[in-house]
Amino acid sequence: MNPIISLPEDLRNKISAGEVVERPASVVKELLENSLDAGASEITIVIEKGGHQLIQVRDNGHGISSDGLSQAFQRYTTNKISNIDDLFNINTLGFRGEALASIASVSEISATSSVDEKSGHQMSLANGVTSDIKAAPPIGGTDITVRNIFYNTPARKKFLKSINSEFRQIVKMVRRFGLDFPDVSFMLEHNNKNILNLTPESLENRIVSLNDPTFRDQLLKVELTKGDYTISGFVGTLNLIRKRPGQQYLFVNRRYIQNRLLNSAVYSAYESLVKRGEYPFSLLNITIPFDQLDVNVHPMKIEVKFIDEWRVYHVVKSAVRDSISSILSTIPSFQHNQQFHGFNKSFEPNQNQEPINFNIFSESKTENNIQGAKDYINSFQIQTKESSVYDGSTLWQVHNKYIISQINSGLVIIDQHVAHERVLYEEALNAFDNTPLSAQTLLFSEELEFSPDEFTVLLEIFPYLKKLGFRIKENGQNKILLEAIPSDMGWGNENTVIKDIIDNYIANRKNSSSFMEDLAASFACHAAVKAGDTLSMEEMQILVNHLFSTKHPYYCPHGRPIIVQLSLEELDKRFERI
Ligand code: ADP
Ligand code: MG
């Protein structure tokens, strides 16, 4: 057995470097933190080959003195804390004094800095050898240049991903700092190409700059102070809901953190507006007294411990709840009045004992139906509380795919497929609990055959299919006779719809809580009009009216947006009228 020895300094550094320097993006993170701690207002990041080759961060912060420079690359050298009390009162991003030492131990690094306008100084470190400090011209801040990351730890180098993938991580990191410090300029260059050029701006503008212009009208301000806790920032409307996480930002005392509990505080504030698996945009700045949290949990400083996590939870939740209370009046401000809901109940399938065949998309419309639909449309009135009014007549279908409608504040574009999908989805869910959806009897019943296990499933979900408007009879072994299909469904694809519902059921059976939603969603998806289907004016009007009486007209069961709104203001801006 080998004797126990004390490891040499260089090896110690390499071992702990693994905790701080995982990939190029983590170098960028540490260097940006140092620049921001130094009070920089302008930061330039230059990357070559996804950071494999070069990571350079230049700032206009207060700089490092020549003595400081020789210290800064040692482990546990910092000017940010000096005693144990400081450790529980951290007001800087860094404090552990190990980032530069860690980076230096796995790369070739050089630092140039100046603290006054007269002169600067430079030092470099490679292969464990530190150069002497040399004089350099003043640069009004600090420049740290890191080359050949992991050149001396081949095992780590092997784990580096492709240039593109590492660079994506870097962009993600810079974006995160950009959102954290909207008052700071950030410039990011990759292989001599300018990628980001952010100038100081308001947080709202910074969010838009780092996303796309559609974010502009979709951000709701968050602002709440409770005692010595303050929450500020923005949350997104339902149009910014995504199916994947990644647009939820939490900053505590300007430190980016990850925290499940606080994320769930945000989601739960949206409560009935978002479903499981849907993620609204949020960016929250939490400001609390420094002694209310411990940031010294992990070398990457991305996890923190709150002294009273539930207190933070509640303040975050009420802050978000306050700001989304306005959500329904902000987008896109269609409002039905009471009269609308009260009118001609026969068109509300679930409230009528014998539902009228409200079939807007099959060929089999009766005269009655058409007249009924017309009455229904004419009676359609919208409250004019908000600025936007849909006047019930101006609708256009473009490319057999989108419906365009004028509203007072501009115009809306509706995706016909997802709109119908939303309508059918909610009708289906409703039908499971209430009156079944109306059915249309097929002229000739259709025989469908299944595999034995499909057939078992079919028997299991039989009651639900009936609720959706399918009328089915057993017809010999693994065979059924289909006598009627849901009124809202076009003919011809009933076979696919049923098979798809069965497949979905088999795939998601374990997850029983969402089983009815899955069933409704797969029915809605297949039964809805498709892109490419021509719609008549009546059909469009009925669809739009129905859409706006659903609970969630803004996004489809799969999370895709249904409505895109273009405000007059935006049009006027684009045409340079204002
Ligand atoms: P920490 O940030 O935890 O203090 P680092 O190893 O990241 O540890 O940095 C060591 C020290 O070097 C810092 O405490 C700071 O004094 C100095 N330093 C590093 N980068 C800069 C910079 N860009 N501007 C000014 N000082 C810096
Ligand atoms: Mg640091």
Reading the block at residue 242, the tokens are 């995504």
If one counts every other C-beta atom within 10 angstroms of the C-beta of residue 452, the result is: 8
3-state secondary structure of 203: helix
- Closest residue CA from atom 8 of ligand 1: 97
**Ligand 1 atom closest to residue 81's alpha carbon, by position in its atom list:** 4
In the chain, domain spans: 9-200, 205-330, 366-578
What confidence score (pLDDT) does residue 149 get? 96
- Alpha-carbon torsion (415, 418, 421, 425), positive or negative: negative
Residue 131 CA to residue 120 CA, distance in Å, equals 16
Q: What is the pLDDT of residue 353?
A: 31
Cβ(79) – ligand 1 distance below 6 Å: yes
Tokens describing residue 184: 């700071």
CA of 145 relative to ligand 2 center, distance in Å: 15
Alpha-carbon span 301 to 295, nearest angstrom: 6
Residue 564 Cα, ligand 2 centroid: separation in angstroms?
Answer: 43
Question: Regarding the domain delimited by 9-200, which CATH topology (the fold level of the hierarchy) does it fall under?
Answer: Heat Shock Protein 90 (3.30.565)
Distance 365 CA to ligand 1 centre (A): 75
**38 alpha carbon – ligand 1 mean position (Å):** 8
Question: Which residues are within 8 A (CB) of 359 and not within 5 positions of it... i.e. 6 or more apart?
Answer: 365, 369, 438, 440, 487, 488
Question: How many whole angstroms from 94 Cα to the centroid of ligand 1?
Answer: 7
Measured distance CA(466)–CA(470) in Å, rounded: 5
* pLDDT in the model for residue 354: 30
Q: Which amino acid is at 129?
A: V
Q: What is the pLDDT at residue 327?
A: 60
CA dihedral 483, 484, 490, 496 (to 10 degrees): -60
Nearest to 71 by CA among 101, 112, 29, 41: 101
Query: In Å, what is the CA distance from 355 to each residue of 28, 347, 397, 487?
Result: 63, 8, 29, 10
Nearest residue to 149 via CA among 141, 158, 140: 158
Going by C-alpha positions, the residue among 223, 254, 221 that lies closest to residue 236 is 221
Q: Which CATH number fits domain 366-578: 3.30.1540.20, 3.40.50.1820, 3.30.2320.20, 3.20.20.370?
A: 3.30.1540.20
Query: Quick one: the chain helix, strand, coil %, rounded to 5?
Result: 40, 25, 35
Consecutive H or E run containing 479: strand 479-486
Q: How far apart are CA 115 and CA 137, in angstroms?
A: 11
Among 27, 31, 33, 37, say which to mutate for ligand 1: greatest number of ligand atoms within 8 Å of CB: 37
Q: What token pair was written down for 159?
A: 């784990």
State whether the Cα torsion 29-31-33-35 is positive or negative.
Answer: negative
SS (H, E, C) 356-425: CCCCCCCCCCCHHHHHHHHHHHHCCCECCCCCCCCCCCCEEEECCCEEEEEECCEEEEEEHHHHHHHHHH
What is the residue-wise DSSP string for 509-543? TT-GGGHHHHHHHHHHHHHSPPTT----HHHHHHH
Tell how many helices (H) and how many strands (E) occur in the chain.
19, 23
Is the C-beta atom of 100 inside 6 A of ligand 1?
A: yes
Instruction: Please give the pLDDT value at position 512.
Output: 54
Is 205-330 a domain of CATH 3.30.230.10? yes
Surface-to-core class of residue 451, CB atoms within 10 Å of its CB (0-12 exposed, 13-18 middle, 19+ buried): exposed
What CA–CA distance (Å, rounded) separates 476 from 442? 20
The closest residue, in CA terms, to atom 1 on ligand 1 is 97
Rounded CA-CA distance 325/72 in Å is 50
Q: Which residues of 530-550 are buried (b: 16+ CB within 10 A; e: fewer)?
A: eeebebeebbbbbbbbbbbeb
261 Cα–ligand 2 center, Å: 27
Tokens describing residue 562:
């249904």
At residue 374, what are phi and psi to the nearest 5 degrees? -65, -45
- Look at the block and give the residue holding tokens 């009708």: 427
Interatomic CA distance for residues 549 and 331, integer angstroms: 14
User: How far is ligand 1, taken at its centre, from the CA of residue 69, in Å?
Assistant: 9
Distance separating alpha carbons of residues 493 and 489, to the nearest angstrom: 9
Here the tokens at position 238 are 């339902």
Residue 378 and residue 392 in contact, taking contact as beta carbons nearer than 8 Å: yes
Nearest CA to ligand 1 atom 13: 78
* Residues sharing a CB contact under 8 Å with residue 235, sequence separation 6 or more, in sequence order: 219, 220, 222, 266, 280, 281, 282, 283, 284, 320, 323, 324
Kindly state if the Cβ of 35 falls inside 6 Å of ligand 1.
yes
Candidate of 34, 65, 115, 142 to mutate for ligand 1, largest count of ligand atoms within 8 Å of Cβ: 34
The sign of the torsion formed by the CA atoms of 191, 193, 195, 201 equals positive
| Per-position pLDDT tens, the chain of length 578 | 788 888 787 777 777 766 788 899 999 999 999 999 999 999 999 999 999 999 999 999 999 999 999 888 888 788 888 887 887 788 899 888 889 999 999 999 999 999 999 999 999 998 878 899 999 999 999 999 999 999 988 888 888 899 999 999 999 999 999 999 999 999 999 999 999 999 999 999 999 999 887 788 789 999 999 999 999 999 998 878 887 888 999 999 999 999 989 998 998 888 767 777 788 999 999 999 999 999 888 777 788 999 999 999 999 999 999 888 766 443 443 333 222 222 222 233 333 333 223 333 333 333 333 333 333 333 332 322 333 334 455 789 999 999 998 877 788 899 999 999 999 988 898 888 888 888 888 888 888 888 888 888 888 888 889 999 899 988 888 899 999 988 877 677 788 888 888 887 877 765 555 677 778 888 888 888 889 889 888 888 888 888 888 878 887 776 678 888 888 888 898 898 88
**What are the CA-CA distances from residue 215 to residues 176, 236, 343 (Å)?**
17, 8, 37
143 lines ligand 1 (CB under 6 A): no
pTM: 0.62
Atom in ligand 1 nearest the alpha carbon of residue 95: 3
3-state helix/strand/coil string of 204-217: HHHHHHHCCHHHHH
The number of angstroms, rounded, from the C-alpha of 141 to the middle of its chain's C-alpha atoms is 36
Q: Which ligand is nearest to the CA of 69?
A: 1
